[in-house]
Amino acid sequence: MIKIILFFLKKYINSPKKEWLRFDSVFMILGIIISVATLTIALSIFEGYETVLKDTILSVNSHVYFYNSEVGNLQNEDVELIQEKLQNKSEVVSSSALIISQVIAAKGNRIKGSIVRGINWEQDDLPNKYRESIWEGSWKLDKENSAVIGFRLAKELNITIGDEFKLISTMNSKMTPMGLKPKESTFTVVGLYKSGMYEYDTKFIYIDIRDMAEFNSMQNEFTMVEVKLKPEMIEKADYLAYLWQHEFDYKYQITSWIDFNSNLFTLLKMEKWVIFIILSFLILIASFNVVSSISTSILEKRMELGILKAYGATDKLLQNIFVSKTLILALLAVSIGQVLGVLIAKFLSWQRFFVLKGDVYFLDKINVQFGITSWLIILGVSIVIVFFASLIPIKNISRLNITNIIRKA
């Protein structure tokens, strides 16, 4: 049967009448193209957003974090123990201790709540992408009280490289005759930092870990040890954290980047599939054109169908020919729709007329990514919908009465 179907398909494509360019066929193709393109745009933007958000989060944060399991900080001996044990693990690339604190950054009358991270900036295999994220200036924090700050924070404080600003911490307030006096230090901006994540770029300040210890009065104490994993282990960070928890006898609280952001990524995934389901209805609507196009075609070709039936062609063969013709057109339309969708999505990511609100969406730029999984899912869903739509009108083939056709022709 396949041979006959292929023969008919070949004739259909090469037919001098170009039946597939008929008005109803063209509308059927256009309907599928537009609906698939819309679905592709939505999914590629969602996928791009998810990927870039993940990359951005991972560029600032490492993958696994060790905290003290009780209230308080990690001591020097804890850090040594953790790093010694992690050194032998094949999944681990590097680890580093750091101090994190909430502060107020101030310049003149401008103030802004910030998060300051004291890091071992000299460490070549630093677990985060601190060095790669420097937008302007230097990553070296070699001068005393030098700082790298987020470029948006710099804008808000109206400072740039070479300017001084103050860090104020209420955690280390001193009692004075005038009342509680917060700890205050002056830092000089040596570099501007750009991660692409709105929240990080408006809040983060990087300083040398020794300056941080001095500022926070935390000698030989650290907020956490962050760990960088090998790329293939990044998605399994939560599982590793769970294993290590047991390995370290529950002495430390070990979490992963997945635990920290699981709500966000679960929400994103759910939104992506909700959008996918809603937009799939567009393909369903487009498939109404499939029903009408096949019905018209059967009506137009009833004489030929009648004669083929008279000469022994079974209903199943004729139905398969119609379904195959429709599926070929649908495949063509879906492919064009996907390419068109990706092109439009690329254009949206390239244009600058419309930008995302960074404070709402974390990122201010539309990013586009279209993976093989999405490609296959859209193709599969579209073809399945078209296939089931085509089954409705082809039932009419078996109802065609040969003698009626011959009499009326």
What size, in residues, is the chain? 409
Piece of 13-21, 56-64, 167-175, 269-277 that binds another protein (CB under 8 A): 13-21
Q: Does 186 bind another protein (CB under 8 A)?
A: no
Closest CA relative to residue 148, chosen from 29, 72, 245, 60: 60
Of residues 53 and 308, the one with the C-beta less far from another protein: 308
Q: Which is nearer to another protein, 80 or 304 (CB)?
A: 304
Closest to 67 (Cα-Cα) out of 223, 237, 218 = 223
Q: Which span sits near another protein by CB under 8 A: 101-109, 154-162, 246-254, 395-403?
A: 395-403
- Which amino acid is it at 334? V
Q: Residue from 3, 246, 352, 399 that binds another protein (CB under 8 A)?
A: 3
Q: How far is the CB of 362 from another protein (least distance, A)?
A: 57
383 contacts 282 by C-beta, under 8 angstroms: no
Under the binding rule (CB under 8 A), the answer on residue 352 touching another protein is: no
The Cα 348–Cα 362 span in angstroms is 18
197: amino acid identity, one letter = M
Least distance CB 269 / another protein (angstroms): 48
Taking CB under 8 A as the rule, does residue 303 contact another protein?
Answer: yes
- The Cα–Cα gap between 372 and 101 comes to 42
Q: Which of 215, 100, 114, 102 is nearest to 156 (CA)?
A: 114
Tell whether the torsion through CA atoms of 313, 319, 323 and 329 is positive or negative. positive
> Cα–Cα distance between 350 and 354 in angstroms, integer?
10
Contacts for 384 with CB less than 8 Å, ≥ 6 apart: none
Q: Which is nearer to another protein, 17 or 352 (CB)?
A: 17
Q: 16 or 179, CB closer to another protein?
A: 16
Q: Which is nearer to another protein, 314 or 373 (CB)?
A: 314
Binding test (CB under 8 A) with another protein, winner from 4, 21, 243, 355? 4
Q: Which stretch binds another protein (CB under 8 A): 12-20, 133-141, 143-151, 198-206?
A: 12-20
* Cα pseudo-dihedral 117, 123, 129, 134, rounded to 10: 80
Per the structure block, which two tokens stand in for 408? 């009326």
Segment lying near another protein (by CB under 8 A), choices 73-81, 93-101, 272-280, 301-309: 301-309
The answer to whether 307 contacts another protein (rule: CB under 8 A) is yes
The structure tokens 């993958």 sit at 63
Candidate segments 1-9, 195-203, 214-222, 291-299, binder of another protein by CB under 8 A = 1-9
Q: How far is the CB of 19 from another protein (least distance, A)?
A: 8
Q: Given the complex with another protein, which of 17 and 246 has the nearer CB atom? A: 17
What six digits make up the tokens of 111?
Answer: 């103030």
Contact positions with another protein (CB under 8 A) in 308-337: 308-314, 317
Helical (H) or strand (E) element with 384:
helix 372-399
Of 23-31, 107-115, 272-280, 303-311, which segment contacts another protein by CB under 8 A?
Answer: 303-311
Q: Which is nearer to another protein, 16 or 162 (CB)?
A: 16
Angstrom distances, CA of residue 62 to CA of 230, 258, 346: 11, 11, 30
Asked if residue 304 binds another protein (CB under 8 A), the reply is yes
How many CB atoms neighbour CB 407 within 10 A?
Answer: 8
| Closer by beta carbon to another protein, 111 or else 317 | 317
142, 230, 406, 408: residue in contact with another protein (rule CB under 8 A): 406
User: What 3-state class would DSSP assign to 5?
Assistant: helix
Q: Is 135 helix (H, G, I), strand (E, B) or coil?
A: strand
How many residues touch another protein (CB under 8 A)?
A: 28
Q: Give one DSSP letter per residue of 160-197, joined into a string.
A: -TT-EEEEEEEEEEEEETTEEEEEEEEEEEEEEE--SB
CB-wise, 4 or 355, nearer to another protein?
Answer: 4
11 binds another protein (CB under 8 A): yes
Least distance from C-beta 295 to another protein, angstroms?
19
C-beta of 263 vs 403, nearer to another protein:
403
State the DSSP code for 230. P
Stretch that binds another protein, among 10-18, 28-36, 93-101, 125-133 (CB under 8 A): 10-18
Query: Applying CB under 8 A, does 19 fall inside the site for another protein?
Result: yes
Query: Which amino acid appears at position 25 of this protein?
Result: S
Contacting positions for another protein (CB under 8 A): 1, 3-4, 7, 11-12, 15-17, 19, 303-304, 306-314, 317, 401-403, 406-407, 409
